[in-house]
Amino acid sequence: METQKIGRLVIARHHESEWNKLGKWTGVTEVHLSPFGFEQSKKMGELIKDINFDYIFDSTQIRSQETLQGMLEVSKNNANVPIEKAKELNERDYGDYTGKNKWEMKEILGNEEFMKIRRSWDHPIPNGESLKMVYERVLPFFLNRILPILVEDKNVLIVAHGNSMRALIKYIENISDEEIPKLEFEFGEIIFYDLDKEGRMVDKEIKKV
């Protein structure tokens, strides 16, 4: 029996911010897109202009909102779609590492600890969040708020952050705790999902500027 598909889910990560350009851990700090990030966000809009969305979600952080704004400047057919800003979709809190240069910290911490901080599932960060903690706020919001819209056969766009979207992808693609460190979600990358009624992946397509 064929799995019944629901509305299409499209997820995007914000493009390059001023702190991304400098190699700093940004986390919950409010930082604008870099000039390059603004430019590329419009190119991201080209990738979604063939889809008519019924609802859009983004985080409460400015770099996500600026990326969405750039996308909608190009994808004009979606310019009047309702937008909901949700703190549950905000970036991971990097705690004591916030604002520190990643590559300088790699030299101090060593590669193994550095990679655990960046990518692992449940590695503690002083006064910050692990990816597991991000998952524990993203997933209930997805299941309780976003999935019911998709089940109504409506198309949804989410524009958020690398780690909040990695947490969501973990659920959608049923990625194990051991495999999640391998998952990257890069700037300019947009994932187009077909899901089942539980929000699990049936099919996907990746596009990138």
Catalytic residues: 14, 91
Q: Cβ neighbours of residue 99 under 8 Å, at least 6 residues apart?
A: 19, 24, 25, 26, 29
Map residue 103 onto helix, strand or coil: helix
List C-alpha distances in Å: 180 to 66, 149, 168. 28, 27, 11
List C-alpha distances in Å: 104 to 107, 110, 184. 5, 10, 21
Any idea what DSSP says for residue 78? G
List C-alpha distances in Å: 198 to 3, 84, 137, 203. 11, 22, 17, 14
